[in-house]
Structure 1
Amino acid sequence: MFPSSSATQIPSAKTMISAAASAAATIVLFRSLVKEYLPYEFQSYIFYKLKTMINSFSSEFTLVIEEYDNLNHNNLFKAAELYLEPIIPPDAKKLKISLTKKESKFSFSLDRNQEIVDTFNGVTLKWKFISKQVPIKYIPSPDNFNSMPKSEDKFFELSFHKKHRDMVIDVYLKHVIKKSKEMKEEKKSLKLFTLTPDRMSGRRGGVWQSVNLHHPATFDTLAMDMEGKRVIMEDLERFVKRREFYRRVGKAWKRGY
């Protein structure tokens, strides 16, 4: 019996492997020639065009969330760090851990090139943390009086199906910000603030210094007329619930007795 014509048209595994190896070798050779003989600017242009062409056939869309917007801190970057911490999978192989001077809880975050997959309203979203070394540049410090050296660019890549673009921008990122604020409140320690000696003497430096407030006193241990104590506690509870009202009418959210 002779093999059918359809069977003779199927390439063997050996032929397919050989063709794939040949294509890979051609790509490697092409990249080597480009890097060796073409100027860096032209190389970047070629690879950018190739990446753009490949991405045009992809259904994936990516948002880049950088640590800084020009010289200003990007609040969305910090929100992403806080949001991702509680959804880090338990089987993660490598994480960064820190304990700041004035906090009492450990903080966990993704290490370079690590990924987390999140699901929101049935949509799968992939977060990737990227950090690249760059020439040192100086950025304003939080106190706005000094500058700090910066030698790496940090950013998150948030990838998802492009059909969900509007939902991610209009709904999901607002969800990230809301959850990050809740995380920040949970981590926050009660502090007492005073002016720094530098500022009190007229020298430049940080405006405030703080210490964590660890005091055992509560309303239960406060020696005070019971009726007066009840009035103050009710007033404080009402005040705490009206933070949004103070913001809306433009008043400072503070209370003194």
Structure 2
Amino acid sequence: MASMMGVWAFCQSLLQTVFPPELRFASLKFFYRLLNWFSSYCYYDITEIDGVNTNELYNAVQLYLSSSASIIGTCLSLTRGLNSSTITFGLSNNDRLVDTYNGATVEWNCQSKTIPNVFLAIAA
């Protein structure tokens, strides 16, 4: 096993010296695209805010997740709208849950992306 690891380390260092990082990056990107072409998964990104407006699809997903009785999550986010008596729950940041919809298994992920602060410089 140790000799196989030594051969692997030698080949890896040889490949890193022969092929430039750009070529390695391009070949890995091509390899991942090739694998994704044969993948049976489909990914959708539903943002909470679309530009300056609230995304209605995000709210619909939030309501769907809140109305499903079969959801068991590790950490759920509870919300209640202004002047509303109903409490809705959804996923917390970086949490996931598996749901079944019409016989298909759906995995919901909540990922928070921070927007960098933008400063405007006004010249006088």
Q: TM-score range by the shorter chain?
A: 0.5 to 0.7
Partner of 2:108: 127
1:106 equivalent to 2:79? Answer: no
For 2:95 and 2:49, the matched residues in 1 are separated by 20
For 2:29 and 2:116, the matched residues in 1 are separated by 22
For 2:112 and 2:53, the matched residues in 1 are separated by 18
Unaligned stretches of 5+ residues in structure 2? 119-124
For 1:49 and 1:69, the matched residues in 2 are separated by 31
Runs of 4+ in 1 over 4 A off after TM superposition: 45-50
- Aligned pairs for 1:204-223 (under 5 A) are none
Relative to structure 1, the CA distance from residue 78 to residue 100 in structure 2 (aligned partners, 3 Å threshold; closer, same or farther) is closer
Partner of 2:39: 58
Of Structure 1 and Structure 2, which has the larger fraction of its residues in helix?
1
Post-superposition shift, 1:112?
1.5
Relative to structure 1, the CA distance from residue 46 to residue 70 in structure 2 (aligned partners, 3 Å threshold; closer, same or farther) is farther
* TM-score (norm: length of structure 1): 0.33
Over aligned residues, Cα RMSD in angstroms? 3.4
- 1:108-153, Cα deviation, whole Å (9 max, x unpaired): 210122222222222222221211112136xxxxxxxxxxxxxxxx
The answer to whether the 8 A contact 2:65-2:89 is kept is no
* TM-score (norm: length of structure 2): 0.60
For 2:52 and 2:90, the matched residues in 1 are separated by 23
Unaligned stretches of 5+ residues in structure 1? 1-13, 138-257
Using the aligned pairs only, state the percent identity: 29
1:82 equivalent to 2:63? Answer: yes
The answer to whether the 8 A contact 2:74-2:95 is kept is no
- Aligned pairs for 1:22-37 (under 5 A) are none
- Report the 3-state secondary structure (helix = DSSP H, G, I; strand = E; otherwise coil) of the residue aligned with 1:103: coil
- Answer 1 or 2: higher relative contact order, Cα 8 Å, separation at least 6: 1
- Larger gyration radius, structure 1 or structure 2: 1
- Report the 3-state secondary structure (helix = DSSP H, G, I; strand = E; otherwise coil) of the residue aligned with 2:74: coil
Post-superposition shift, 1:48?
5.2
Select which of 96, 100, 104 maps to 1:115. 96
Partner of 1:149: none
- Report the 3-state secondary structure (helix = DSSP H, G, I; strand = E; otherwise coil) of the residue aligned with 1:61: coil
For 1:49 and 1:70, the matched residues in 2 are separated by 31
For 2:31 and 2:93, the matched residues in 1 are separated by 25
- 1:29-63, Cα deviation, whole Å (9 max, x unpaired): x7xxx9xx87xxxx7x7775554233123121112
- Report the 3-state secondary structure (helix = DSSP H, G, I; strand = E; otherwise coil) of the residue aligned with 2:42: strand
- 1:141-198, Cα deviation, whole Å (9 max, x unpaired): xxxxxxxxxxxxxxxxxxxxxxxxxxxxxxxxxxxxxxxxxxxxxxxxxxxxxxxxxx
Select which of 57, 73, 76 maps to 1:95. 76
The letter for the 2-side match of 1:116 is L
- 1:56-96, Cα deviation, whole Å (9 max, x unpaired): 23121112222233333321111001111133623x22111
Aligned residues: 104
